[in-house]
A and B are shown apart, each in its own frame.
Chain A
Amino acid sequence: MFIEIRNSPISEEEALAKLEKGGCGSTVLFSGIVRPEEGGRRISALHYEHYPGMAERMITVIVTDAMKNFRISDAAVIHRTGDVPAGEISVVVAVSSERRKEGFRACEEIIDRLKTTVPIWKKEIGEVTQWQSERLQQREERKQK
């Protein structure tokens, strides 16, 4: 298992290189790339901030669960923080397994739980610079009025 959160560019190749692949018939890779648009507005980058220590520990729990529940052989998760320009990779999840089905399911589970539970926040930098959770909260408040 390899987990890293760091403030420098990341690549798919390094995640794949960290995987233990002995006896595996499959590797599955997910890479999250910053889009040039968020919420209908152009952005030049996303700024990521995390809770050091807690974020890494929560990802470790998520990957441990996936290794147990989906019987995968290994997983690597690398997340970039700081300013990530549009078009560049912000997160990579790589999974090795004996069969592809478990690999696909595990990879999806890992990225879904990471996105919805791990303390990592993003700020949209562009036409309007704003924390994404703030924009979503404002949108909910407008809906309720």
Chain B
Amino acid sequence: MLFAQYREIARTGEILLEFNDEESLTVGELRKTIGRQNGALSPHMGSALFAVNEEIAADDMRIKNGDVVAAMPPVSGGRCS
């Protein structure tokens, strides 16, 4: 799943990626793969947040078959002073 500017850049809210070896797939590998396969998203993948099944996920987290993965821009924040 893609949100905000990532969805606009990719012109879709979902992208499908195929892998040969699902067992070894981590969030970090997915980050690199999206960057390689989608040139427009590539400059953004370094700072993207990832969520697996609606939980923030670190790069070393393994992705299993059927997991829902979201690539998200940094949250907007907002200055408090």
Binding site for B on A (CB under 8 A): 32, 49, 51, 53-54, 57, 112, 115-123, 131-134, 136-137
Contact = CB atoms under 8 A, between A and B. Distances in A.
B73 A131 contact: yes
Contacts, number: 59
B54 A133 contact: no
A120 B78 contact: no
Contacts of B3: 49, 51, 119, 121
A119 B51 contact: yes
Closest 8 CB pairs of A and B: A121-B4, A54-B54, A131-B5, A122-B76, A133-B73, A115-B78, A132-B76, A133-B74
B75 A118 contact: yes
A120 B76 CA distance: 7
A144 to B, nearest CB: 13
